[in-house]
């Protein structure tokens, strides 16, 4: 007679069902007992991934050590100061992203209050208060001219220069001189250096206050905040031997300037009068106002010639275009050219013609530079006195 083995695999179906239910009940009881007996084991820690220098549109990311029930948090999170936001859950409900509907205000301290919740082990997650700070408004690292500097001459070769500690790409900037005189400006690719020129001519001897305002690029115009202030005093008026009226100066130059070379073409530059005259065969064809080198960067007195010509030269040293360029020395250190301009298109104004403000070159106005450029050939003599 065969013997029957009695084992689990021979338990009939009702017995299997009862045994399974018993195991589940014991398992749940054991789990609940473990949670109650050892709550620290299942305690949920909450960590903020980044709490400093949050960019205006950056998400706030909060990590939970256990997955949580999201309904405990959805629409119940409070942020102070109040701001609209939306949330996303990731990593099986262990990672919470809080995204501003518009942007976080720069240079602000925010507080996030997470309500009491539960993790998937039915263990309470304590109420949490989390703090973070947003990035600061752009910080000026250096300014030229320095704050309080006197006898300052501002022109396209010597603009106001602002260096920032880092890129200002997230911000719109506004520059004001004496509260209402806005400026032209040009910036580099990284937007951490700005060159400024006043839109209106500067007055001799006047004190100027430069104010810098900033707002996040997507903020409203009324959200500009003042972030920097500096001051300087403009240069005193130069001593001019000739009449300050430029038309009178030009008329006198046309009438009284005598030819120093009687045959052929030559260019005559009178530094004291800041006047250039062009001569052919001893006859003054015309005279023009110029701007030569300022004190300390004086245009040298010399007898020279035109060494080369380019319709639109570029100065790497100053980052400027110099239309109608005519070199007066072989190494190109000194030349005659039209009022210079930045790559952005801003052009030095004609107000400085008649005043020595350049770095040594001789500047001409727009029309006069073209006339002289067309007049002079390579080799044309130049006399500067």
pLDDT digits (tens, 9 = 90+) for 322-354: 999 999 999 999 999 999 999 998 998 888 899
Please choose, from the candidates 119, 120, 121, 133, the residue with its C-alpha nearest in 3D space to the C-alpha of residue 45.
Answer: 119
Question: Is 60 exceeded by the pLDDT of residue 33?
Answer: no
pTM over 0.85: no
Count of domains for the chain: 3
Chain centroid to CA 54: how far? Answer: 19
What per-residue confidence (pLDDT) applies to 148?
Answer: 96
According to DSSP, the residues that pair with 327 across neighbouring strands are: 335
pLDDT at residue number 110: 98
Res 126 pLDDT > 90: yes
Is residue 19 assigned to a domain?
A: no
Q: Are residues 297 and 267 in the same domain?
A: yes
Q: Do residues 295 and 206 share a domain? A: no
Domain presence at residue 177: yes
Is the pLDDT confidence value at 29 over 90? no
| 283 vs 305: CA distance, rounded Å | 19
Q: Buried (b) or exposed (e) across 277-314, using 16+ Cβ within 10 A?
A: bbbeeeebeebbbbbbbbeeeebeeeebbbbebbeebe
Question: Looking at the structure, do residues 194 and 211 belong to the same domain, yes or no?
Answer: yes
CA distances from 372 to 239, 267, 306, 367 (A): 27, 9, 11, 9
Residue 105's pLDDT is what? 95
What residue ranges in 281-331 does DSSP mark as E strands?
283-291, 302-305, 309-315, 320-327
pLDDT, averaged across the chain: 89
User: Rounded to an integer, what distance in angstroms lies between the CA atom of residue 50 and that of residue 67?
Assistant: 20
Same domain membership, residue 263 and residue 230: no
Q: What residues make up the domain containing 267?
A: 246-384
Give 9's pLDDT tier (boundaries 50, 70, 90). very low
Residue 228 and residue 250 in one domain? no
Q: Residue 11 domain-assigned?
A: no
Residue 278 lies in a domain: yes
* pLDDT value, residue 155: 86
Assigned domain for 218 exists: yes
Supply the pLDDT for residue 180.
74
181 and 268 share one domain? no
62 and 178, same domain (yes or no):
no
- Enter the tokens of residue 227: 């972030």
111 in Cβ contact with 129 (< 8 Å): yes
């Amino acid at each position: 007679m065969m013997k029957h083995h009695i084992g689990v695999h021979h338990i009939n179906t009702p017995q299997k069902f009862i045994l399974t239910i018993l195991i589940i009940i014991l398992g749940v009881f054991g789990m609940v007992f473990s949670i109650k007996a050892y709550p620290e084991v299942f305690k949920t820690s909450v960590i903020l991934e980044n709490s400093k220098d949050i960019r205006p549109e950056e998400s706030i990311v909060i990590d939970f050590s256990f997955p949580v029930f999201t309904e405990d948090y959805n629409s119940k999170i409070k942020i102070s100061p109040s701001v609209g936001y939306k949330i996303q859950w990731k990593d099986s409900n262990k990672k919470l992203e809080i995204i501003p509907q518009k942007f976080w205000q720069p240079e602000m301290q925010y507080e996030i209050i997470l309500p009491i919740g539960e993790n998937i082990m039915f263990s309470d997650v304590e109420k949490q208060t989390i703090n973070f700070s947003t990035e600061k408004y752009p910080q000026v690292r250096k300014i030229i001219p320095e704050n309080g500097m006197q006898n300052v001459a501002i022109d396209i070769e010597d603009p106001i220069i602002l260096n920032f500690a880092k890129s200002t790409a997230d911000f719109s900037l506004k520059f004001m001189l004496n509260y209402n005189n806005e400026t032209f400006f040009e910036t580099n690719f990284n937007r951490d250096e700005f060159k400024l020129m006043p839109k209106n001519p500067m007055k001799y001897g006047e004190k100027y206050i430069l104010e810098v305002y900033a707002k996040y690029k997507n903020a409203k115009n009324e959200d500009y905040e003042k972030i920097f202030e500096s001051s300087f005093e403009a240069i005193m008026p130069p001593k001019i031997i000739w009449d300050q009226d430029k038309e009178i100066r030009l008329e006198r130059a046309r009438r009284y300037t005598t030819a120093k070379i009687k045959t052929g073409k030559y260019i005559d530059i009178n530094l004291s009068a800041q006047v250039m005259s062009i001569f052919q065969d001893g006859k003054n064809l015309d005279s023009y106002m110029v701007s030569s080198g300022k004190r300390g960067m004086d245009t040298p007195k010399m007898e020279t010639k035109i060494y080369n010509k380019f319709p639109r030269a570029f100065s790497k040293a100053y980052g400027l275009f110099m239309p109608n360029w005519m070199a007066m020395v072989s190494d190109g250190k000194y030349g005659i050219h039209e009022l210079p301009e930045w790559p952005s298109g801003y052009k030095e104004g004609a107000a400085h013609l008649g005043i020595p403000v350049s770095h040594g070159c001789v500047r001409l106005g727009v029309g006069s530079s073209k006339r002289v450029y067309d007049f002079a050939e390579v080799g044309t003599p130049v006399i500067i006195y």
